């Protein structure tokens, strides 16, 4: 049995996929296999992958008709033999010690089913790289915290046995499918962060799946609505509703910034209908006394204020 099975789904990224594979080849930890699933690329991806396949027998290349990233990852899972599973997107990179740190951690902590590391974003400005956001902003250690953090797929290591328990990636999602998987895994196994940067990406002018925060929040709402809670977590239904309401609230704020007042009012109303105390849930710190009451009232005032602004400035 291979220790780690690495999965890369790719689609029309011939100019990027090589660097992703190189970051696997340069891992200090060597007992891995790499399954790259070409999801029906029409560029030179096949040529690039064939070169790497000839270079190292641990690299396996699978091609399928275009079906989306969830199905591509699921296709790869049917080919793996590893005790652990790691994911890498075709435009992300690993640091050399990533697998070594995670395997050592998991071997030393047999009760942990899923660990993850930090993920650094760099922005390309001219010929220079500037540091962007570092994710996640805080390190979640339990299911209840997973809805508030972004855990990059390229930062995780999962026991294959636990991945099989949750039926892999939901094929109905081709964006944020990782968020859905983390929520399901978080209910059946212990999760743990490693407070080190293990992976990074460079943002340039290529399209990115997470570019539209509005779309990410909308899909997040769908995922949370469809999430099936295990018997152990049935008492967390209210928490799920609050997290749905948060996303409606964030969507409303984005529309408000865009001066789309009608859409802002609609989403503020949806937030309040989902969780009447949403004004407390969206605060950075826990409010007390008068501030607590002000937060609640402010969230209720958002709807009429947006409608009034729409009448004054034109309905959008």
For residue 39, being part of any structural domain is answered with: yes
* Domain match, 265 and 197 both: no
Return the pLDDT at 1.
79
Specify the number of domains making up the chain. 2
* Domain match, 15 and 69 both: yes
Which residues constitute the domain of residue 62?
4-209
* Domain match, 281 and 148 both: no
* Domain match, 100 and 180 both: yes
* Domain match, 85 and 134 both: yes
Residue with tokens 């079906």: 67
* Domain match, 185 and 294 both: no
> Is residue 37 within 8 Å of 10, Cβ to Cβ?
yes
* Domain match, 42 and 188 both: yes
Residue 135 pairs in a beta bridge with 119
Residue 40 pairs in a beta bridge with none
For residue 218, being part of any structural domain is answered with: no
Return the pLDDT at 130.
86
Task: List the CATH number of the domain containing 118.
Answer: 3.90.550.10
* Domain match, 14 and 81 both: yes
Residues present in the chain in total = 316
Nearest to 211 by CA among 175, 185, 179, 264: 175
Degrees (nearest 5) of the Cα angle 31, 195, 154? 50
CA distance 272 to 269: 5
Q: Please report how many Cα atoms fall inside a 13 Å half-sphere around the Cα of residue 181, on the Cβ side.
A: 27
For residue 221, being part of any structural domain is answered with: no
For residue 214, being part of any structural domain is answered with: no
For residue 216, being part of any structural domain is answered with: no
* Domain match, 195 and 240 both: no
CA distance 250 to 264: 10
Digit-coded pLDDT (tens) for 200-229: 998 876 655 555 788 999 999 999 999 999
Residues of the chain with pLDDT under 50: none
Please say which residue of 209, 240, 261 terminates a domain.
209
Digit-coded pLDDT (tens) for 147-178: 999 999 999 999 999 999 998 998 888 788 99
> Which tokens go with 28?
């200090």
* Domain match, 266 and 174 both: no
* Domain match, 178 and 35 both: yes
For residue 222, being part of any structural domain is answered with: no
* Domain match, 122 and 178 both: yes
CA distance 264 to 65: 39
Nearest to 296 by CA among 263, 264, 271: 271
Name the helix (H) or strand (E) containing 48: helix 45-55
For residue 225, being part of any structural domain is answered with: no
CA distance 244 to 222: 9
CA distance 50 to 53: 5
For residue 215, being part of any structural domain is answered with: no
Return the pLDDT at 145.
94
CA distance 258 to 264: 9
């Amino acid at each position: 049995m291979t220790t780690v099975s690495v999965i890369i789904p790719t689609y029309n990224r011939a100019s990027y996929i090589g660097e992703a594979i190189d970051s696997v080849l340069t891992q200090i930890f060597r007992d891995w296999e790499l399954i790259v699933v070409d999801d029906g690329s029409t560029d030179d991806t096949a040529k690039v992958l064939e070169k790497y396949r000839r270079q190292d027998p641990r690299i396996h290349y699978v091609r399928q008709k275009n079906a989306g990233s969830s199905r591509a990852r699921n296709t790869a899972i049917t080919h793996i033999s590893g005790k652990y599973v790691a994911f890498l997107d075709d435009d992300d990179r690993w640091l050399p010690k990533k697998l070594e740190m995670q395997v050592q951690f998991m071997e030393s902590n047999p009760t942990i089913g899923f660990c993850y590391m930090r993920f650094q974003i760099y922005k390309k400005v001219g010929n220079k790289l500037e540091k962007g956001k570092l994710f996640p902003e805080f390190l979640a250690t339990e299911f209840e915290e997973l809805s508030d953090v972004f855990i990059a797929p390229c930062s995780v290591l999962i026991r294959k046995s636990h991945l099989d328990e949750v039926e892999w990636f939901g094929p109905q999602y081709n964006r944020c499918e990782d968020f859905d998987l983390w929520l399901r895994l978080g209910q059946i196994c212990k999760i743990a962060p490693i407070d080190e940067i293990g992976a990074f990406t460079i943002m340039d002018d290529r399209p990115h799946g997470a570019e539209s925060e509005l779309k990410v929040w909308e899909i997040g709402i769908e995922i949370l609505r469809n999430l099936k809670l295990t018997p152990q977590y049935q008492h967390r239904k209210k928490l799920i509703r609050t997290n749905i309401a948060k996303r409606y609230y964030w969507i409303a704020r984005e529309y408000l910034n865009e001066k789309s007042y009608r859409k802002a009012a609609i989403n503020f109303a949806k937030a309040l209908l989902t969780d009447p105390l949403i004004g407390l849930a969206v605060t950075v710190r826990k409010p007390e006394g008068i501030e607590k009451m002000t937060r609640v009232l402010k969230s209720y005032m958002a709807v009429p204020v947006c409608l009034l602004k729409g009448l004054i400035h034109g309905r959008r």
